[in-house]
Amino acid sequence: MCYPRAMSAKEEIDKLTSELKVYQDKYYKEGVSLVSDSEYDRLSDRLAALEKEHPDLMHPDSPTLRVGSDLTNDFPEVRHTIPVLSLDKAYSDAAVLDFFSKSIEKEGGVLSFAAEEKIDGISMVLYYEDGLLVRAVTRGNGEIGNDVTANIMTIRSVPLRLSESVDIAVRGEVFIRKEDFERLNASEPDESKRAANPRNLAAGAVRRQKSSEARLVPMDIFCYEGFWQDKGRTPSDHIAILSELKRLGFQINPHLSFFAQSKADAEKRLEEAGLDGDGYAFSEIDSYIRKKTAERGTLPYEIDGLVFKINELDVRDRFGYTEHHPRWAIAYKFESPQAEAKLLGITVQVGRTGRITPVAEITPTKLGGSTIRRATLHNQEYINELELAIGDTVSISKRGDVIPAVEAVIDKNEDGNTTYRLPPLCPCCGTTIVQVGGLQYCPNYSCPDQVRGRISYFASSDQMDIATLGPKTVAVLYDAGLLRSIEDIYTADFSSACGLPGIGEKSIQALEEGIRESLGRPFALVLSSLGVAEIGKKGAQMLISGGFDTIDKLIEASKEGRTEAFTSIAGIGETIAESIIKAFRSPELLSTIEALRAAGLHLDASLDKEEESSEQIFSGQVWCITGSFRTFNPRSKALKEIEKRGGRTVSSVTGKTTHLLSGEGGGSKRAEAERLGVRIVDEDEFLSMIGQKAAEGKGDGQLLLF
């Protein structure tokens, strides 16, 4: 552009500000673009650059505030200057009617009531000074909330400057339309990162670290209460407040209803206030609730109830408040598949990867046919989003019908408890908890909870499927010092575990058998059982078909930091590649791998094939093993050879045992085999049996029986 003289920074900022505001207004209010997108971006970038250089010249309602910034939000705590209360609840038509009649009786005169949709979103208080938005604060504990202004400024329907220069606090609900929620969630490829519902998505967006990211979530707001600093400016009733809020520039929910003595009277009052809405007579409450309940699913946003409020402000003043609720309003809650419970406490779990998970301990609550006592709280961020404190009443749902989750705070506690904070130290080992990308971790690889978790995961039925080695047995064996790592599974002598709580001779036998059987599991399963966070079953398959068909290839590529060797596999991105590399460089994992190699586990996919193709010469036979061997060290290697060929292996000689493979120093088992007439095979014979497998075939195996 060419100007007769160079503009001062102030002039340019002023000019760009007003130009961009016109473009924004035209676009968002009328859907008309006065300039191309690229021209708009150019002007906006120029304004942002100038504002950065001259922050003192920036307009408090600058259009660049809508764009957000990359600065990290820290959400400081601020004290509310208005009481931020929640509503008492009603669960039936009768309870609402009761509220109406008791209020009228108490007042002893004519009253009217506004009825609004109870938006299922995030409660927000917008503070304006001289008509300018100065602060947007979450509800918090009702007295102190978090300042989330930068993120809220990105919401188009939040006015940055009002049509009049007033000091006012406005309550509203931030929400996301169902359609936007579906679209945004569908575009998130990682299913575990998808929000469960629009409210959760909004809760996350309100607290995004960068407002430039919050802007990308299409949040909206409906405002429903106004508190003027100058009481003299306060309108005389609720519908006049809504009308005034609308005039000032706030978005009001158009689905407003109004109850008066007669329908005609109600409609007249709405019209006088200049508001759209439906008028009803008191006698129509039942049909109104039925109508709204039926309409609920068709609305473009989620509502979880209806709010009935006395319209006359002087009556509101007379009725006043209980400690937590206004006496002049009530929330009718729709029935929902969720249950309500009280949060008794929060326990902190340490997972196998060190991930710290807060768990809600709740009053026992029936939901979906079972009684729930605990529900996940995911992480600190989730607790912050809910502004959850001990003693709060919460709603619980079963997500995907499996893991119960705390969905929302329904009522704040009356004990003055504020938002719960995770302890700074790992509750298991006392190590300082670290923060990694919004999650909390105990960084101590030897943390007992992590060790037990890793072993249990390795042995679980979904992974290596080691019979009887469930979390309880793992804990007992851990405490006894027998099982302190995954590799201990294959080297420990479990015979000394006999007599430990819940462990008898039979369970030791079953355990030893389970361990032996696990030796033949395919490489993919071994890989996914190691507990590397990024390598689940699918990940292991992807790596193997992507060329990493031996553990050595994984170790090698990680050692050399060849990220591209991983990222060239479809579905593996940079972040995952880097964590895999980090894992396969860690001395702890490497030493586990070496121990598993020595035990004879499959660390090479070609071994799986070999196994599959081995002739089943020992099929139908039951082998026991005793003593030590030259060739098979550790002994588990011999067991593998037997199982590979279809034989079953057991840990003691019984009447069912068909063969005893006997090495150096086999004592009591050998004697027992002799007594029972079990065929005794020494190392050389065994070697020749497996060496001649092709020539002798299956039949010979059977022959040896007799």
Q: Which helix (H) or strand (E) holds 613?
A: helix 605-613
Shortest distance in whole angstroms from residue 177 CB to ligand IVH: 15
173 binds ligand IVH (CB under 6 A): yes
Q: Which of 133, 155, 132 is nearest to 208 (CA)?
A: 155
Output DSSP code: residue 230: S
Stretch of 69-77, 268-276, 326-334, 639-647 lying at the interface with ligand IVH (CB under 6 A)? 326-334
Write the DSSP string, 666-697.
--HHHHHHHHHTPEEEEHHHHHHHHHTHHHHH
Q: Specify the residue, 329 or 583, whose C-beta has the smaller distance to ligand IVH.
A: 329
Q: Which is nearer to ligand IVH, 123 or 518 (CB)?
A: 123
Catalytic residue among 118, 309, 412, 693: 118
Tokens of 64: 């660049």
Residue 287: CB minimum distance to ligand IVH, A: 20
Indicate the pairing of strand 659-662 with strand 679-682.
parallel
Nearer to ligand IVH, 316 or 640 (CB): 316
Identify the residue whose tokens are 């010979």: 700
Q: How far is the CB of 312 from ligand IVH (least distance, A)?
A: 15
Q: Which is nearer to ligand IVH, 299 or 687 (CB)?
A: 299
Chain center to CA of 563: 28
Binding range to ligand IVH, per CB under 6 A, among 325-333, 474-482, 500-508, 676-684: 325-333
**Is residue 634 reached through a cis peptide bond, with omega within 30 degrees of 0 on the bond before it?**
yes
Considering only residues 210 through 239, tell me which ones interact with ligand IVH, judged by CB under 6 A.
224-225
Contacts of 128 (CB under 8 A, 6+ apart): 134, 162, 166, 167, 168, 169, 170
Residue 82: CB minimum distance to ligand IVH, A: 9
Interface size with ligand IVH, residues (CB under 6 A): 15
The DSSP annotation for 481-508 comes to TS-SSTTHHHH--GGGGTTSTT--HHHH
Closer CB to ligand IVH, residue 85 or residue 359?
85
Segment near ligand IVH (CB under 6 A); pick from 114-122, 424-432, 453-461, 503-511: 114-122
Q: How far is the CB of 79 from ligand IVH (least distance, A)?
A: 17
Residue 118 engages ligand IVH in binding (rule: CB under 6 A): yes
Cα 706 from Cα 701, distance rounded (Å): 10
Compute φ and ψ for 85, nearest 5 degrees.
-100, 165
For ligand IVH, the closer CB: 170 or 350:
170
DSSP E strands, 284-423: 303-310, 329-333, 339-350, 356-367, 370-376, 393-399, 403-411
Annotation marks residue 118 as catalytic: yes
Residues 6+ apart with CB under 8 A from 533: 353, 579, 583
For the bound state, the minimum distance from the C-beta of residue 404 to ligand IVH, rounded and expressed in Å, comes to 22
CB of 325 to ligand IVH, least distance (A): 8
Nearer to ligand IVH by Cβ, of 174 and 660: the residue is: 174
Contact positions with ligand IVH (CB under 6 A) in 291-310: 307
**What amino acid is encoded at 166 in this protein?**
V
Nearest CA-CA partner of 391 in 343, 339, 456: 343
State which of positions 424-463 bind ligand IVH (CB under 6 A): none
| Length of the chain in terms of residues written | 706
Q: Which of 17, 23, 63, 116 binds ligand IVH (CB under 6 A)?
A: 116
Site for ligand IVH in 121-140 (CB under 6 A): 123, 139
β-strands 339-350, 356-367: how paired? antiparallel
Build a one-symbol-per-residue string for 67-96: x at contacts with ligand IVH by CB under 6 A, - elsewhere. Answer: ------------------xxx---------
Q: How far is CA 199 from CA 123, 205, 254, 628, in A?
A: 10, 10, 20, 64
Q: CA 93 to CA 95: how far, in whole Å?
A: 5
Q: Looking at 125, 133, 331, 532, which residue binds ligand IVH (CB under 6 A)?
A: 331
Q: With CB under 6 A as the contact rule, which of the stretches 1-9, 115-123, 211-219, 269-277 interacts with ligand IVH?
A: 115-123
Least separation in angstroms between residue 126's CB and ligand IVH is 13
Cβ 227 to ligand IVH shortest distance, Å: 10
Cβ atoms within 10 Å of 254's Cβ, excluding its own: 11
Sequence-distant (6+) residues with CB within 8 A of 6 are: none
Interface with ligand IVH (CB under 6 A), residue from 119, 428, 486, 576: 119
Q: Which is nearer to ligand IVH, 87 or 168 (CB)?
A: 87
* Contacts (CB under 6 A) with ligand IVH, residues 138-167: 139
3-state secondary structure of 124: strand
Q: Which is nearer to ligand IVH, 142 or 427 (CB)?
A: 142
Segment near ligand IVH (CB under 6 A); pick from 202-210, 324-332, 339-347, 459-467: 324-332
Q: Which residue, 116 or 512, has its beta carbon nearer to ligand IVH?
A: 116
The per-residue b/e assignment along 224-235, b for 16 or more CB within 10 angstroms, e otherwise, is bbbbbeeeeebb
Cα end-to-end span (Å), the chain? 103
CB 93 within 8 A of CB 308: no
For residues 396 and 359, the answer to whether their CB atoms sit within 8 Å is no
Q: Is 275 in the site for ligand IVH (CB under 6 A)?
A: no
What is the CA 317 to chain-centroid distance, rounded? 42
Rg of the Cα trace of the chain?
35
CB of residue 116 vs ligand IVH: minimum separation in angstroms? 4
Which positions touch ligand IVH (CB under 6 A)?
A: 85-87, 116, 118-119, 123, 139, 173, 224-225, 307, 326, 329, 331
The residues annotated with a catalytic role in the active site are 118
